[in-house]
A and B are shown apart, each in its own frame.
Chain A
Amino acid sequence: MAEAQVPQQVGGAGWLRRRQRGPRGRIEIGDPFLARLFRIYIPVCFFVLVTLFPFYWMLITSIKSDTELLDFNQLPIFVRQPTLKNYEHLFTQTFFPHWALNTAIVAVVSTTISLFCSILAGYSLGRLRFRGANWIGWAIFVTYLVPPTLLFLGMAKLIQVFVLYNNLWSLILTYPTFLIPFCTWLLIGYFKGIPRELEESALVDGATRIQAMVRIAIPLALPGILSAGMFAFTLSWNEYLYSLIFMNDPISKTIPVGVTQDLIRGDEFFWGELMAAALLGSIPVAMLYSFFVDYFVAGMTAGAVKG
Chain B
Amino acid sequence: MSIITRARARSVGLPHKRPNPFDNEAFLGYLLLVPTVLVLSIFLAFPFIYGVVLSTTSTEVGDEVLGRFVALANYLFEMARDGVFRTAFVNTFSYTFYTTIVKFVLGLSMALLLNQVFPAQRFVRAALLLPWIIPSVLSTLAWRWMFDPTFSVINWVMNSGLHLPICHGSTTCVNWLGTPGTAMLAMMIVNIWRGTPFYGIAFLAGLQTIPTDLYEAARVDGATRWRQFLHITLPMLRPVLLVVILLSTILTFADFQLPWVLTRGAPYNSTQLLATWAYTIAIPGNQLSIGAAVSLFLFPVLTVVIGVVLLLLRRPE
Contacts and interface: CB of A to CB of B under 8 A. Distances in A.
Contacts of A27: 117
Interface in A36-83: 36, 39-41, 43-44, 47-48, 50-52, 54-55, 57-58, 61, 69-70, 72, 76-77
A179 to B, nearest CB: 10
Interface residues of A, number: 111
Nearest to B312: A307
Interface stretch (B23-31, B81-89, B178-186): B23-31
Interface string A156-179: 011000000000000001101100
A145 B44 contact: no
B53 to A, nearest CB: 9
A4 interface: yes
A305 B206 contact: yes
A196 to B, nearest CB: 12
Given A44-B113, A281-B138, A136 B33 contact: yes
Interface stretch (B69-77, B95-103, B246-254): B246-254
A305 to B, nearest CB: 5
A48 B39 contact: no
B20 A150 contact: no
Interface residues on B, range: 35 or more
B118 A158 contact: no
Interface string B2-43: 000000000000000000101101101111110110011011
A43 B115 CA distance: 13
Interface string B146-162: 10100101001000000
Most interface-central of A41, A72, A116, A269 (chain B CB within 10 A)? A72
A266 interface: no
Interface string B107-139: 001100101111000101111111101111111
Contacts of B197: 51
Contact of B133 (A124, A129, A285): A285
Nearest to A257: B137
B47 interface: yes
A227 interface: no
Nearest to B283: A245
A96 interface: no
Contacts of B33: 120-121, 124-125, 136
Contacts of B134: 55, 282, 285-286
B224 interface: no
B211 A4 contact: yes
Contacts of A58: 142
Nearest to B307: A142
B135 A282 contact: yes
A147 interface: yes
A201 interface: no
Contacts of B313: 141, 307
A87 to B, nearest CB: 15
B213 A260 contact: no
Contact of A40 (B40, B116, B125, B302): B116
B40 A143 contact: yes
A86 interface: no
Contacts of B51: 150-151, 153-154
Closest CB pairs A-B (n = 4):
A154-B47, A147-B254, A154-B50, A124-B32
Interface of A: 1, 3-7, 9, 15, 18-19, 22-27, 36, 39-41, 43-44, 47-48, 50-52, 54-55, 57-58, 61, 69-70, 72, 76-77, 113, 116-118, 120-121, 123-125, 128-131, 133, 136, 138, 140-143, 145-155, 157-158, 173-174, 176-177, 180-181, 184, 208-210, 234, 237-238, 240-241, 245, 255-256, 259-260, 269, 271, 274-275, 277-279, 281-282, 285-286, 289-290, 293, 296-297, 300-301, 304-305, 307
